[in-house]
Amino acid sequence: MAQDQCGSGFQPRLKSTPILIKMRSRKGSNFLRKGRASIKNQHYLITTAVLDRKPVFNQAGTAEIVLSSLHWLEEHGKIILDAAVVMQDHLHFVAGLKHGSLSQSMHSLKSYTAQRINSLLHKEGSFWQRHYHDHAVREDEDLIEVVRYALRNPVRAGLVNDFHDYPFWYCRWKV
């Protein structure tokens, strides 16, 4: 008997021929907001990317602007910043929501950093992709494991062998 991915040996049996349904392409990221909720003290893993995934964070000062802006949000009581890693063209961070909504915090982060980085790079116009992805850390998930997952992005991208060697990361705990 064939094994399924879980190794149980269970094989589903179809009583009729499956019907194939052609679904419309979901162009864009409008579906990222579906079901989004802002819950006070809820921790989220958030990912947002630079427009057209341009690798701007390898330019001097840009990643530092993003990290300092995240710290500003924490100092002003908007979030509890657990961890962050600024990759070449996107940002991952884990934070608890303290005040306001997730979209308000992301708007503050994105608008301020876009203005500062565009000024630094002598550019104008949009900087970030419009949308972002958020994952609410569930009660059955280990927050530290979610933090480690975020921080290991430079390793998975092949940039370093140990994330501690990557220059643009932060974590509130010793990991």
Identify the CA nearest to 134 among candidates 174, 79, 175, 88: 79
Per-residue pLDDT of the chain (175 residues; tens, 9 = 90+): 443 333 333 333 333 333 333 334 444 444 444 445 778 889 999 999 999 999 999 999 999 999 999 999 999 999 999 999 999 999 999 999 999 999 999 999 999 999 999 999 999 999 999 999 999 998 878 999 999 999 999 999 999 999 999 999 999 999 8
Strand 169-171 with 79-86, pairing: antiparallel
Q: How many domains does the chain have?
A: 1
Position 3 scores a pLDDT of: 37
Report how far apart, in Å, the C-alpha atoms of 170 and of each of 82, 84, 174 are: 8, 5, 10
> Which CATH number is 166's domain given?
3.30.70.1290
CA 70 from chain center: how many Å? 13
Domain containing 126 equals 36-171
Position 36 scores a pLDDT of: 55
20 found inside a domain: no
DSSP 102: H
134 found inside a domain: yes
Identify the CA nearest to 168 among candidates 112, 90, 74: 90
Asked if 66 and 48 count as a contact pair (C-beta separation under 8 A), the reply is no
Query: What does pTM read for this prediction?
Result: 0.78
Give the three-class secondary structure for 114: helix
125 found inside a domain: yes
13 found inside a domain: no
113 found inside a domain: yes
Position 139 scores a pLDDT of: 82
Report how far apart, in Å, the C-alpha atoms of 92 and of each of 9, 21, 24, 147, 165 are: 38, 35, 29, 10, 17
130 found inside a domain: yes
Position 14 scores a pLDDT of: 31
23 found inside a domain: no
26 found inside a domain: no
Hey, what are 38's tokens? 């802002």
Hey, what are 14's tokens? 């179809």
